[in-house]
Structures are given as structure tokens and as C-alpha cells.
Structure 1
Amino acid sequence: MLQRDFTKRPRAKKTLKETQQYLDLALHAGNIGLWHWNIKTNTLYFSPEWKRQLGYQDHELESRFEEWEERLHPEDRDSTLAALKAYLEGRRRGYEVEFRLRHKDGSYRWMLARGLLQAGPDGKPYRISGCHLDITERKRAEEEHARLLIREQTARAEANAARQQLGNILERISDAFVALDRDWRYTYVNQQAATLFGRRPEDLIGRHIWTEFPEGAGQPFHMAYEKAMAEQVFIQMENYYEPWDRWFENRIYPSPDGLSIFFHEITERKRAEQAARESAELLRCQNQVLELIAEGAPLRETLDFLLRVTEAQCPGMLCSILLLDPDGVRVRHGAAPSLPESFTRAIDGESIGPQAGSCGTAAFRREPVIVEDIATDSLWDDYRDFALKHDLRACWSVPIFDEQRRVLGTFALYFHNPGRPTGRHWQLIEMATHTAAIAIVKNRETEALRASEERLRLAVIGGRVGIWEWDVSTNRVVCNGQLKAMFGWPEAEDLTSKKVMGAIPSEDRLRIDAAIQRSPSHPDYDVEHRILWPDGSLHWIATKGRVEYDAAGNRVRIRGVSVDITDRKRAEEETRRREALFAEAERIAHLGSYEWDLRDSKVYRSEELCRIFGLLPDQFEPTFEGYLERVHPEDRSTTKQIIEQAFRELEPFEFEERIVRPDGAVRLLHSQGKWMFDESHHPLKLVGICQDITERKQAEDQLRRSEERLGSGKRCPVAEPGYHHLVQLRRRGSRHR
């Protein structure tokens, strides 16, 4: 029996060893580490596989609780220890926890720990055994899955947001937008497109484009859609949609799923482009007419060409220009290349007036006159039969004005059918009237210049106007006989610039040189100077000249005219002499004068009058109230009454008044005034004097007081004592005097 037992024991050990090997192999293959913790003895066992999971050999890691605890991830430590404690205290039914442990290489590995508590005979826990399962790869897979899931959800959200954003963008853009599938059905219609279509977007989704808009089939954009879809090419085009009478720009983007089409209305732009082309054509025509004007073509030829190019812009239109006589009463034929000659002859010389057809009425009213139907408009009562005889049914006429708004004539458009002008017609009217005004004014200026030149020629011959030209390069002076006479030279005298300038006093010559030396931007000069005749007498002439320059800015020629002003200068000198004598006389007599011109309200005051009032000329108030402010307060009311009475009755006046100077000094004045009248006895101006009689009054008072002291009893025949007035209005003859 014992021998049998001894025989069985080696086999049992062998079996146990094999079983342990199988277990170790299984644990290693399953990456499972075992652990045992004897709670009573606080001894712990970590299996070699448990240690290998953390990168350690069996001998490198002690089986202690602290070895496990200190390797817990900081974020997992509290929750893991709390779970273990709860399990040991019976507050947790099982022990299964996931946490991270620090590997030997410093990284952290995810572990799934499971444990089972064993109780002793007393029912108290004394040991807990469990295993560690390395779930790092599973965790990584879960995290990757979570990331992929989040990425997918994010992508879906972004796609939805992109679709929403695209929808928002398509609704916000100014362009209309539609999307079509390959079956030509609408898949998207923004609000701009729906508004253009006059439909709601939801009413078009899923509908066939050519069923909804059959009138579009065969249009240029239809063929462009077909081409873009078939060839998968982008197409941008502009097209006129005749059913709506509107222009659109299309941008067609193909894709395998259909078409995306952006389009917007460009009708206004197209009309502007057409207007620009028409304006350019009008400008070209106008320039042709202006070239004729610049070349000096006859007025009739210029106006005829203007009307022909205007008629070419609008077939069926017949143009006419009538010219207003200088008396402003009748109109004359100017040009009408396409109207019947018999019609133009019939209206030539007709008077303007309130019922004078379109043209005569337009000139009379000074405004456009639009007759839509000659057959029914009362303005044509006197001319209707003749107009209808020539198949003229409408006539629109516009006055032609110069820059001063004077009527020069009329421009008219005739038609064989009744109607009103369009915007295009008004463009033609504006161009034609403006250009015709230039031609007419230029013609009148040319005629006036010719007449002026003729008058000048006669004036030069009959008057004392000297005409001359100085060639700077040769210093030769060419002039007429009148200029030589002004210098006191015989007509046969040959002149040079040196001889001419030698006859001018040096101080005057300096002024002439300064005027001539100015830059080419100021070529004209105007100067008055003296000349010394051969007999030694001094004379005055006024000269207007123009300096001509070459391309390099050098003076090449000076032309001008001169007029003898000797008599005027002598008269001015005499006037200055008399004025000086008069001013000196005023100063000696303390008498100032003034003159008030009622026509322009200008007031002249002599220097002595300013001195009497103690004021500078610019300190005088230009009003009656300002003058009264200078009068002594005690005399102001009486002075005001006297002057107002004189204004009412237009009679001469004379009185005494006191004034107060700015320095406070009081002066006594003797004032007189008289009205000047025209032939119809309308007042033209008021002239008067103010004499300072302060010293005279003081002398009279002193003499009177001396006589009283002497007791002579004799009184001098002077004014009453004090400064109160004569203050009376003396009527010096009638106002018709």
C-alpha cells in the first residue's frame, strides 16, 4: 500500500507540474497576470506574467502592495483604491476595475483587474485573489473607434452645415441660382430665381424646366444648357429673352449630376451700353459738324449737314431748322434737306406767336412744343391743310438758345405718323439744338467780326488810331500813318524799334519793358505812356499790345494799336488841379461837401468833411441813422425833423446843428443842401455842404459879452446867444427851380 502511494506521488507531481506549465502557458498566451493578497498577513503575490505585463522580470519587482499602488496612473489612483476599499467593506458586490499602470519604459498600460474575496472560518475576509488582463490594445481600438465615430459624426455635421451654409449663401447672393438634374428637373431654386420666375421655390422643385417654361425651348440659353450638359464644359453667355423683353447673363457649371446655373438680369447694363454706342455715334456726327464750323463753312451748308446726320440716326424722321430774325418777330428757312421745298417756302417768313404751329409757338413760348397729331392739334389750325397735303402728321419743335438764353431759332422733327418723342429722340434733339446754336452763334460772330473790322478800318482811316508791328529779329517797325503822326514824324519816315523807344521818356520806357518782359502765359499788355516830339513837346498815347513767342519761348513779334490820349490827360490834369484848389478852399473855410447819388446810393464826402467830423472816410456810417448818432443829443430830434421834411418836399434846406466828435469835442456846423433833378423832375442826387462855425460863434459870443461889460448897450447883428439853432427850413425858391 505504502509502496503504491510512493509510486503514485511522483506521477502526481509530474501531473501537477505539467498542469502548472499548461496554466502558465495559458496565462501567458492570454496575457493574464495573477495576484493574491493575504489581508491578514498583508503579503502579496504577483505572478511572473503580472510582472511581465509591466516589462519586468520576476526578480525585478517585489510582490508588495506599494509596488502596485505607486504605479497607478495619477488620474486613476483615487477611483481604483476607492473601488478596492468598497469591495473589501462589502459595499461593492464584485471587484472588476479598469485602470492604468506604469510600464517599465514609462508608458502606461491599461489593465482590467478582477478579484474574488475569500472568507475564513469566522466569515471575515482574509484573502483576495485575482488577475490582471492587459486591455491596452482593446482600449486603443476603442479610442480609435471613438475617434472614427466622432470624426464621422463631425463630418456628417460639417456636411450638413456646409449644405446649410451653401443654402444660406445661395439665398444671400444677388444672383438667381437653380440646379437641374440630368432629367432637366429642378433640384434647387433660390429666392432670387423664384422672384424672377414669379413662382415659389417649392412649386418648382422636381418639375421639368421645359414643361414649366416652354417658351424658353429653342432660345440661345436652351442650346447652351444642352451643350454644357453633353460636353461637361463651363459656359458663360449673355442672352436676350424675348418673351420677357429682358437681358440676362448666365454662368452654367456642369457636373455628372446635372447643371448649376447662376444668372442675373443685365437689362439696364445692356441699355446703358446701347445708349453709350448711340452717344458715341452722336458725338462722332457732332464732331463732323464742328469740324465744318471750325473750317468756316457757310451756315446753310453746316446746318444742312447737321440735319442729314441727325436724320440718319432715326429713319423716317424729317428735320428742319428755322432762324429767328434779329427783330425777334419772324422765322426764316435755315435748313430742311428732306422736307418738300414747297413746304419750306410756305413757312419762310411766318410770324411767331401763341398759335403759330409747332415752330412759331416754340419760339414764342421759349419752350418745347410737342404736337403729336397735326390733324387734331389747334396750334396747326392755320397750317394744317398744307401740312397734311405733304403727309406730315407729327411735329416736335424745340427753341435754339445762345448762352444768354436768347432765341436763335427752332429745331423741329417731322413724322408721317402721329406720335410722341422717346428718350432717343430727346438725345437727338439735345445734340442738334446744341450744335446748331454753336454754328449760328459762330456765324453771327463771324459776321459781326467782319462788320467790326470794316468799322475799325473806317475808324483807323478817319480817326487817330495807330496800328503797328515790331519784328524782334530785325528790330523793324511797320506801322500806318496815324502812328507816325502821333510821334510827330513824317509819313515817309522809316522806323526801327530803337527810334520808337528813343522817343519815350526813360521812366515810361521802364514800365513798357516790364510789361513786355512778362512770361508767354501773359502775352497781352496795356500801358499809357508819354512821347517826346521832335519839337520838344510832350504827348500821351495809350497802347495795347500782344507779344508773340516761338516754340522755344523766345519773343519773335509784337503787334499793337495806339491811341493819342493827350487831350484826355490834359483834361485829367486840369481836373486834379481844380480838385486840389477846391480841397484847399474847403480846408481854409472849414467847409466840407458831400454828394449822394440816389441812382446807386453811393455817397461822396470830401476830405474836409471827414476832418470836421473827426473821422476817417471808411469810418462814416453809410446810413441816415449812423449820421444822426454823430449829432448832439439835444439837437438830434430837431435835425431829424428838418431832414425828413426836406426829403418829403424835395426842397433846399439850411440849418445849424451840433455834432460830437469821437474824441468828445462838440462842434457847431452850418449845413445846407439842395436837390438835383432830371428833365422829368425826378430827383437824381442830393448835394450839400457843412461848415464848421464853432470858432466864429465863439468869437461872436466873446464880442457880445465884451460889449455887455462895457455897457455900451449896443448889440451886434449876430445870432441869438447859445448854440440853439437857426433850426429853420429856408425855402430857397420852388422845387422846380
Structure 2
Amino acid sequence: MISEKHYSAMFEALPTPCLILLPNAPVFTIINASNTYLALSGTIEREKIVGKGFFDVFPRNPYVNQHQWQATFDQVLHEKKTDKVITQKYPFPLPGLSNGVDIKYFDVLNTPVLDEQGAIMFIIRSMTDVTETIRHERLLEQTQQMARSGNWEVSMVHRTVTWSQRLKTILQVDSAFQPDFESALSFFDTISRKSMLRAFQKANRHGTSFRLTLPVITAKGRERWLSTVGKADMVDGVCVRIYGISKDITDKRNTENALVSSDRNFQNLIQTIDGIVWEASVEPYELTFISKKVERMLGYTAKEWFSEPDFWMKHIHESDRERATKYHRQQTKKLANHTFDYRAIKKNGDTVWIKNVVSVISKSGKPRWLRGIMVDITETKRLADLDHLEKNILELTTHRNTPVKLILSEYLLGIEALFPGLYCSIHRVHDGRLFNWAAPSLPQAYSAAIHNRQIGDNTGSCGTAAYLKIPIIVSDIATDPKWYGISQAPLSHGLKACWSYPIIDSEGSVMAVLGLYYKQIKAPNAEELAIVERTATLLKMILENRRNADLAQEVSAMIDQAQELARFGNWQWDAETNRVRWSSVLRDIYGFANTDYHPTFQGYLAALHNDDKARSIEILKQVRKTGNDSVFEERIVRPDGETRYLKTWVRCMFDEEGIPIKMIGACLDITEMKHNELKLKQMHRQLEKHLREVEESEAKYSNLFHLSPQPMWVYDLETYRFLDVNVAAIKHYGYTREEFFSMTIKDIKPSQKRLKLGGSYEFSKEHDELFNQDVYIHRKKNGEIIHVEVQSVIINFHGRTAALILAQDITEKLNHIEAIETQNRKLQEIAWMQSHVVRAPLARIMGLVDLIQNFPESGVENGELLDSINGSAIELDDILKAITNKAEQINFT
């Protein structure tokens, strides 16, 4: 049996420095130490430390805070588990050097020894020298820093992730950052994360290594590229860890991308040269090189060009041949590089415009070689001519009196000039039929034959296009089913192909159909289709603008008539110029119709009634100050002395800096309404007089009550029952006197309105000296709903507190007022849109047309200007439609 002495000897001989402590905090008495611990401590003998406190023997370490040591011991006492202290740094004196020290690193473990009851008997403190490991790690870290790489390890057993300090630096995280598997993957985007997961899963299953180059986003949001090499460590076929190195290759990647991009840009530049590169000798004039693009551009192969020395000159258009060759020879003789345009004949007979850019290579003062590039500029030439044509057509459209048929004919003739052999037509579509609008070059007999033709599927190109609302391309009329049964008409006039394009307005309705004919079987190319679409777009704008202009003229006349009938006028006051504009109706309201009176703000103030002047001025000031619209009533005195009542609406307009620049408004003449109102007030005064007389004499009240032409009754304020009712009420409401007496005041109210009744009459009870006036909804015996203006007064009726009611049916009056106000609101909206909203797109169109007319060299592409004109025209159309819709809603009867 092994004695305690043997155990002690074994402990003291342990190769690992160990110390046994008692758990008597805070002293932690030393009861034994291994020989290696004593040797590590220097000259300390076992007898000098046994029985003493740990902190007495080892008072301090310049690299470790004593509180840290104390905390590790406290943690062991608290948790009764082994505590590993982070690697500690210790100084050791060097032999022979008084001030020299050797730095060593130790991993320290504090392990509790428990008794059977789980209490701590001892604490074993062991130390492992890891100096060499630390030095190797630092060397590795320095090496990785120079290589811009960091190592990592994923423990598959403990599910932990470890990063080197250099890898943390690359990913711009704090040195204390402790990654896990999820946080490590968060630096990758979705696609890269999936790639990394697949590599890890494969390595985990098969023990394979992997290499990936993936982008990451660092903790500070910067993109970097990492080249990662990983390997699985397998034990008995189970992966215990995956480790590897990740290298920052961002700079290398950026350099590679720059090189790839540069190479791609160079290749793209080469591919964008859309022309025929050629070379020729001067004496003799022989072609020595021509690029393959000659076949695509002109239809001839390079071999055909080499077959004849003067092949190039023979295929210049006859009208341009002498001019082009003469200029070419002259410039070559002068050793001058030169550029010239001419038409060439393609192999299929078509004509193209060529721009030939020539460089002259000389030797000893004589031209030796010619090198150049021929570029197809047909589309550019054609578009330039088309721009000029469209400019002229747009100028024609500005003249209101120019017939639309003349404009269309001029436009179609211009299109035909751009495409030799083309015959154009445009048909108006109305009520499902085609009507010839313009066909300047088509045979009249053919135009007459298709005039008034029904549209539908398979009714020719134009009829089908109008019916289906899509372009119809027929390259061979003789064989296409869309012309079945009706092809004889065009074929008899030599027309063999027809392309049709519907002109559809903004509402989706077909206004017209553009028809394009050829006397040969022909399908359109991309350029021709683009021209057709552009032509259709301009035709749409021309036809819609003309239609909208006609509609605007009609609406303007309608608005003028509406304002005149409604006595509704509008005005503007330009604050910058102090210029005032009045509509003709407003002039008439102020009494200046058919005069040369020039309205001013001062003139407006002079016309105001003296009693309203200060109030109106203050309202205008507030509108100008706050920017809030205002509606108010005012009186004016006309030159003939007549006073008119106006209901005025005013708004202030501001510039971008918030400075008032304009005030606009409208005035409604409500004089007649005011006169009627005064009459009603006079009637009310008379009624009040009658009521006072009733209070003075019951007999007099009875006569007035029963003989009054207005419905009157008396009801009990407690029970709401009718106490008396006059003949006028009986006749107007349709109930007999006996029926009234069996009813309460609630019975003549519609069921949904009865909730208001109690509150109103309770108010009357509390204010028995107050004269009350209000408007209610009543129901007659026949179910008719009426609006009644009720005036009431509290009286004593045979000892009861009652209310005397005078009821006036104002249903027709309210309906009339509501109709007038609704009409006025719509007229105000129309006036506003007419005077302001229409102006913006119209001004833009006028400005753009002026720019096209007077500044053709402005630098702005006409296509852009036309697109802007088209957009403004569409906007103007929408505005005019809105005005038309509102005008159609107004009923002036």
C-alpha cells in the first residue's frame, strides 16, 4: 500500500511546476510545492514557503495585477471548477547580468480538489511553460502580416471558431472579438456564404481540402477579397477540426479586374468601329486590303472587290461619281488627308450613303499609300432630311388656318422623297370605316376604290391594322391572307407590298391609318420600321393637336358663354408689373362693358363700397401674407351708381423664394341673391312684429295665427304634442287637424333626423326668452321630404309652456342655391384651368417650336425637342379633356 510519504515524493518529483494551497481565502496557505516549481521560483527553498500565504511569498508580478490573481482564486472557490488563467508573462533574471531578465510565458491552471461532501480541500496551481509556442505564434503572426494572411481553426468537437490576430485585422474587427460559426459567415454575402458552407460540408464528410476566392465585407463596411485554403483533420473517419489560412488578395484582385476591364474596353472599342477598313496603293491604284465588313455593308465579298482595279469607282452612284473621284484625286495629289460623302450602289441595287475617311501616306514627297475607312451614313443622312421635313411640317401646323389635308399631303410627299419607290397614304377612321385623307402619289382610281371601306380582320393591311390596333406588315399582297379576295385592286395598279400602321390617340382609339406601298415585294428593315414609328408618332401629335385645338376653341367659347350666363368673371393682378387683367364678364359686372377702360388695382379699390373697402383690403393683405386662399363677400359701386354684391375668391401665387408674384381670383355677381335675402329678412321682421302683437293680445294672435299664409303651430315643450295648428300647415303638410292633435312634433321628422330633436327643444326650454331660428327636415303625410326654415318663440298657451312655430318651406330655394353653388364651383375650376394650367404646356410647345424654327444650330437634338413637344401636347390634351369633362357636367338650364 502506498503511504502518504510516497505520494508526497511523487508530487515533489512532478515535471510540471505545481503548488498546493489551502482554500483559506484570502491567505491561501502553501502546504507543498514541486521541485520544478521551486526551481522555477529561483533560490526559494521548500521550508521557506510551506505554511506561508501565497501572496506573502509571491507578492507581485510586474506584468500581472494582483487583483487578477485574487479574482482567479475567488472564481475557483465560487464555481469549484478548474480555472484557466490567460497566458501570463513572467520575468526571470539572466545569470551574470545584474539588470538582465528573460521573459517567459506560462499557462496557469487553478484546480480544486474536493472531498466526499463536495467541499474544497486543496487548490492545485500548475504552470506550463508556453514561451516557445508564444514566440512561434508571434513569428507566424509577423509572417502572416507581411503576407497579408491570417490563420483560422474551426473545432468540430467543441463547435468553436478561432481567428489569428492578423485575420481579425484583415476583417477590421476588435482584437477581443470572439467569432462563432454564424458571425464568421456573416462577413460573406449570400452567394459566397453558400459556397463556403458547401466547401466546409464536403471537407467535414470526406476530409478533403478546399481553396476558395470570395469577397467579404469587413466590419467597417469595406469590400475585400480573401483567398482561403482549408483542410479537414480526420480522426477515425470523423472530422475533429477544419483549419486553414485566408489571404487578403484585394490589391491583386483590383489589379486583375483593372486589367480585364482595360482589355474588355479595348475589345469593345475595336468592335464599335462599324465601317469598312481598306488600304490601296497609289501608283498603280490597286486595292491591297479590305475588311470583311464590306460584305455586310455593301453585299460584295472582298474577292469581288479585288477582281477589278476600279471596282470602287464603278459602284459609286452615277450622280456622285465624277464629283467624288475628282475630289479624291485632287486631295491625294496634295498629300492631304480628306473626308468626302457619296452614294454607293449595293449588290441588291439599294442605294447607301458612304462617308470615306482617307489618310494619305507619302514617301519622298509623293503619295504612296492610301488607308481609310468607309462608314455607312445612310441613316444619318436620312434622319437629317427627316428632321428638316418634320421642322417644316411643324411650322405648317402652327398656322391655324392651314388645312390639315394640306399638312398631311406635304408630310407624305417628304417621306416618299426619303425612300424612293415608296407610296404613302393616310386614311381617317370613323364609325368603323376608312376614309381617304391624303394619298398624293397613289393612283386616284385606287384611292377611290378603298374609300369608305369597312375595317375588320383580313380586310387588307389598313383595314386590319385599324381593327386590331397593331401594325400590319404585308410584304407580298398577292399571297397574304389579309388581302384574300380584295388583292386585285392594288395589284392592278402595280402595288405589291403594303405596310400599315394605326395612329392611336391618347385614349386608345384609332384616329387614322398610315399606309405605305411598294411596287415590289418588300419587307421593312429595322431603319424603315423606326422611321415608320417616328412618322406615326408625329402624325398622332399633328392630328391630336388639331383636334384638341378645335376642341379648345369650342370649350373656350362655351366657358365664355357659361361665365356670361352665370355672371361669373375672373381677374389677375401681376404684383411685379402692377398689371391687372379682367375677363369680359367681370368688366360687365363692374359696368365697363364695351369701353376702353384699363383695369388697375387702384381702380378696383375705387370701385369698392366705402363700408367694405377696409375689410377687403385687409383680406387681400392676409392672403398675400399667409398664402391661404380666401372667399368673401364685398360690394362695388358701378359708374352709374348702382351697388352690386359680389362673392369673391382670391389666391396668391409665389415664386421659388416665397415672394408673391401674382394674385388671381374670380367674382360671382350675387346681387339678385342678396336682394332675395333682404326680402326674406324683411319677412322675418314682419313675422317678429306679428309675434309681439300675439303676445299682447290672444285674440289678435288667434286671427294672425289662423289666417297666416305660412304654416304655423303651437306645441307643448314638455310632451311635444301639437296644441294648435293653422289652416296653412294643414294644407301644406296634408294632415287633418285631428291627426295633428294626435301627433307629436317628432312625428313630422324623418326617423333618421329625430335624434337632433331633443337637444334642440331642450335648448329652447332653457332659454325661454330667446327667439330661435333654424332649418330642419320635415316629412309630409304623403312621404315627401322638405327643408323648412323654422322660427320659434316661447309663449304661455293656456297655462302651458309652449313654442309658437312659423315654418317656411325653403326646399326649392335650397335646391336652387345648391345648384348655383355647384355650377359656380365648376366654373371656377374651369376658369382656373383655362387661365393657368393650359398656359404651361402651351408655353412650352411655343418655346420649343420657336427653338426649332429660329435656332436650328442650338446643339439640341431635334428628336429631343420633338419628344418634349409631344410630351407637352399630351399634357395639354389631358388638360383640355379635363376642361371638357367639367364643361359637359355644367347644366345651364
- What range describes the TM-score normalised by the shorter chain of this pair? 0.3 to 0.5
TM-score where L is the length of structure 2: 0.34
Larger radius of gyration: 1
